[in-house]
Copies of this chain bind each other. A is one copy, B any other.
């Protein structure tokens, strides 16, 4: 665990190597994935600006090396380098865009929600034979879309039949 929901933020985190999942868990043990971050990404920065507590928890999914910078150092950095400041504006703007795209899917079908997730995710995926290999499990797609594994599986199956995605040996391509 890297930090917990509702905790006060003391550090800026940036991944050197490894993968980190930022997520919520409710009373019934059901999980929702807010985001997955890997090499080079930072995560959990908003509270460093807004004085909110963390809206979610963070956990390393793999062995990982993560740089931590305390909040004072982080604020000094922002002050001294306006271009870093601007960089966070751009980063946050992109995040808000992604969140808005996912949020609006709440009123759409499982297929539409999965497609929105694949679309958002594909630029992070590696390309193989003109298609993007989706590096996530069905469970992870379910956690990210708010659906159930079974629903994801059944929906993907229909989508394969309709040539909207491809599956080769359980591996998903888009």
By a beta-carbon cutoff of 8 Å, the part of chain A in contact with chain B is: 24, 26, 30-32, 34, 45-50, 52, 55-56, 78, 82, 85-86, 88-90, 92-97, 99-104, 106-108, 146
Bound-state CA distance A93–B24 (Å) is 18
A30-B107 contact, Cβ under 8 Å, with A50-B97, A78-B86: yes
Contact of A106 among B46, B47, B89, B146 (CB under 8 A): B146
Contact of A55 among B46, B88, B100, B107 (CB under 8 A): B100
Chain B residues near A88 (CB-CB < 8 A): 89
Residue of B nearest to A52 (CB): B97
Please name the 7 residue pairs, one residue from A and one from B, whose CB atoms are nearest each other, closest first: A106-B146, A49-B93, A50-B93, A92-B92, A46-B93, A55-B100, A24-B104
